[in-house]
Amino acid sequence: MALKRVFLSAAALTASRVFQLVLSFAIVPVMTRLLTPSEYGLMAIAMAFVALTLYLSDSGMGRSLVRNSPDDVVAWSSAHWLVTMFTGALTLLLALAAYPAAWFFDEPRLAPMILALSIMPLLHGLLEMPCNYLIQREKLWPIAASEVTSALTGAIVAIVLASHGAGVWALVAQQMAILAVKSALIFTVSGFRPRFVFDLKALGDHMRFARDTLGYALTSFVSKQTDPLVIGKILGPAPLGFYAIAYRIMAMPANVTGVPIQGAIYTRLVRLREDTAALKTVVLAVTFAQSAALFPAITALAVSGKSAFTILLSERWAWTGEIFSMLAVAGMAQAVTTLNGAVLQALNLTGARLRLTLEFALIWLAAALVLVHFGVAAMAIGFSVISLAYVPRLLHFFLKPMDCTYREYLGALAAPIIVSLGIVAAHELLSNLFDLSNWETVLLAAAELLAAYGALALFARKDLLSRLSAVRAIFAAS
C-alpha cells in the first residue's frame, strides 16, 4: 500500500507535468506563428530577472519543515510569515530593477514587463508552506490538479491575447495567470491556515537548511540563467528567442518527471536517511526507470531535430531544432540528476548541494562568456559538454553517502544508454542511405523510438520489476 500510495502520488504529479508538456507543445506551434523570435527573446530576458527572485523565494524552509509534524503550528506559521516578508522584499527589489534592466539591455519594453511580473515572487513565496504542507501529508493530488488547471488557463490567456495582437504581453499574461490560478487553488484546498505567531527560535535547524538552500538557489540561478542574460546582451533578443525555445524543450523531461518524483518520494527519502542500503535501492530504481523512459525519447527528438521543429513550429523556427539536438546530452544529464538534490536534502547535506551548484555555475559562467562570441551553436554544444563532464564530480558527492559505487549507478543507466545509441546509429545509417523528407525523418525517428522501447521491454523488464519489488518492500517497511 505504501508503494502504491507513493506511486499514485508520483503518477498524479507526473500526469500533470505531462499534461503541461503536451499543452506546451500544442500551443507552441500557434504562438510561434503569432509571435517573433525577438519577442520570445525579450520574454526570456525579462524572465531571467524574475527567475532570480523565484529561485530565492524558494528558500527551502517548507522543504525542511516536511521533516516536522504538521501539528507543530508555531514552526509552520513562523516559517510562513518569514517567507512572506522575504518574498515581499524580493517583489519590491524586482520592481526597482525594472528600469536599470531596460537601460542595460537597451530595450525600453523590458521595464513595464518586469514591473508587471514583479508580483510573482510574493505569490510564489505564499505558496511554499501550503504546498509543502500537502507534501508532508503525501497529498499531492491537489498540487497536480492546480498545475493542470493553471497551465490550461495560462495557455488560453496567451493564445487569445496573442491572436488579438498583444505581442510579447501575451507571454507576460500567461505567466501571471498560471501563478495566480495555482495560488488560489492551493490556498483553498491545502488546509494550511497559519496562526499570527512568529518565533524564530521555533525554526531552529530549519534556518540553516534555508540558508544553504538560498545559497543553492542563487548559484542555480547563475548556472541556469547565464544563457539568456549573456546571449541577450551580446547577440540580442532574436538569437535568444531560438535558443530559449530549444532550451525550454530540453529542460522539459527533467521538469516533467524529476520534479514530481522528488515531491512524491522526498518524505520517504527522509525516513530512509539512516538506512543507506535501502536508500541506494530506491535511488537506483528511480534512476533506471527515469532513464529508460526519457533517454530514448530525447534521442529520437534530437536525431530528427530540424525536421521535427520545422513541422511543429514552421520553417522560420527550424534552427531551434538544430540547437535542441546540440542540447540533448545536457537534457539527459539533467533528467537523471535532478534526484540528487532531493537525496542530499533528505540526508541534510545541503552544504554539499550548494558547493556542487556553485562550482558548476562558475564553470558555466566563465565558459559562456567566451562561447557566446562564437554564436548560439557554440553555447549549446558547450553546455552539453560541460554538463556531461561535470557528472562524475556530481556523482562523487551523491553516491558516497549511500555507499553506492559508480559501477552500480552506471549499471542502472546501461540499458537506456545502449538503446539510445542504437537510435543514433540506425538513424544515421538510414538517413545516409535514403533522401528523406521532413515527415519521413520524423516517422523514422518515431519507429526507432518504438523499437528502442520494445528492446527495453524485452531485455530489461525483469531488472525493472526486480527493482520495483525491492522498493515496494522498503516502502512497506518504512
* Packing angle of the helix pair 376-399, 237-253 (nearest 10 deg): 30
Q: Are 310 and 317 in contact (CB under 8 A)?
A: yes
d(CA 107, CA 79): 38
pLDDT tens across the length of the chain (478 residues): 444 555 555 566 667 766 776 777 678 778 888 888 888 889 989 988 888 787 776 656 556 666 666 666 777 777 778 888 888 999 999 999 999 999 998 889 999 999 999 999 998 888 877 877 777 666 777 777 888 899 899 999 999 999 998 999 999 999 999 988 988 888 888 777 877 877 666 666 666 666 666 666 667 666 777 888 889 889 888 888 889 889 988 888 777 666 666 666 777 777 777 788 888 888 888 889 889 999 999 999 999 989 998 888 778 888 899 999 999 999 999 888 877 777 777 777 767 777 887 888 889 989 999 999 999 999 999 999 999 999 998 888 888 888 888 899 998 899 999 999 999 999 999 999 988 899 999 999 999 999 999 999 998 888 888 888 888 888 777 6
Check residue 224 and report its DSSP letter. Answer: H
Residue pLDDT, tens place only, 173-196: 999 999 889 888 888 887 778 778
Q: CA 341 to CA 424: how far, in whole Å? A: 30
**C-beta separation of 50 from 116 below 8 A:** no
Provide the 3-class DSSP secondary structure of residue 168: coil
Three cell numbers written together for 376 = 548560439
- Burial code (b: 16+ CB inside 10 Å, e: under 16) for 287-307 equals bbbbbbbbbbbbbbbbbbbbb
Q: In 317-375, where does DSSP find H-type helix? A: 318-346, 350-371
**Cα separation values, 217 from 30, 56, 171, Å:** 33, 6, 24
Give the angle subtended at the CA of 118 by the CAs of 115 and 119, to the nearest 5°.
125
Cell of 432: 545516409
Is residue 1 exposed (0-12), middle (13-18) or buried (19+ Cβ within 10 Å)? exposed
Domain residue extents for the chain: 1-203, 225-478
- Determine the pLDDT at residue 214: 66
Phi/psi region, residue 138 (left: phi>0; alpha: psi -120 to 50; beta: rest), is: left
Size of the chain, expressed as the number of residues it contains: 478
Distance CA 255, CA 269 (A): 19
